[in-house]
Amino acid sequence: MQSLSPDEYTRYHRQINLPEIGHTGQDRLKKAKVFISGLGGLGSIIAYYVVAAGVGYVRLVDRDRVEMENLNRQILHWIDDIGKNKTDSAIEKLKRLNPNCELEAFSEEIREDNIIDLIGDCHYIADGTDNLETRRILNLASVMKGIPFVFGGVEGFNGMTTTFIPSVTPCLECLFPHQESKNKPLGVLGPVPGLVASIQVLEIIKLILNMEGLLKGRLLYIRGADMTFKSIKVERNPDCETCGHIR
């Protein structure tokens, strides 16, 4: 078993006290490897909480630079970071947050021909992207590698999230077949990605700890304007071009 240092015991004390985690669960978190696609409104918050929780290895990918309009929601990027690669900005903060976490970042565009190499030997895929085309690539990689893909999306006051597990749940294509991304940037209020990303991190932690209660076969839809949460049952499409061959 991978041991925790005295500093780590102190850092994670409030988590270790939870019966669902304990010393064994914290060791599992330390051994886990998480891939995060995008470091914007969702991805920056996912990265922060995954690193804070003590996940041992986190790989980050984002091709963009920090812009002023990012700062209403992207908590890893500050005004002094404008013009920097988002990966550089994020790594700087995350290393200061938790030096016990091994971080690796790539300032690259995610494509079908590089996604498998980018994911490497990570065990989980976290969706922090803002377009359906990239999510389809992540979904395909999830199915090909047989690893979970935790999806999140936001627009305005609304958000949604679910967990895709190959051979167990529907995949992204089952849920959104043949849909196209919207061309213009979507409006979004900062707390909405904060809420959705926090739920995504809960899902990732529960996956690592092998806990029940996951959003398997359920899309959680959140309406922030009236604070209603709706769980929508989703089913696999046996004719899905991406996951239909998996039994």
94-114 confidence digits (pLDDT tens): 999 999 999 999 999 999 999
Tens-place pLDDT, residues 105-147: 999 999 999 999 999 999 999 999 999 999 999 999 999 999 9
CATH number for domain 32-233, candidates 3.30.565.10, 3.40.190.10, 3.50.50.60, 3.40.50.720? 3.40.50.720
| Sign, Cα dihedral of 37, 39, 42, 43 | positive
- Residue 242 pLDDT greater than 70, yes or no: yes
What the block records as the tokens of 166 is 């190959």
pLDDT of 1: 40
- Residue 206 pLDDT greater than 80, yes or no: yes
Given a contact cutoff of 8 angstroms between Cβ atoms, the answer to whether 90 and 60 are in contact is: yes
- DSSP code string of 201-238: HHHHHHHHHT-S---BTEEEEEETTTTEEEEEE----T
Residue spans per domain, the chain: 32-233
**Interacting residues of 130 by C-beta distance below 8 A, sequence separation 6+:** 38, 40, 41, 42, 186
- Residue 180 pLDDT greater than 70, yes or no: no
> CA 135 to CA 54: how far, in whole Å?
26
Instruction: Give the confidence band of 148 by pLDDT, cuts at 50, 70, 90.
Output: very high
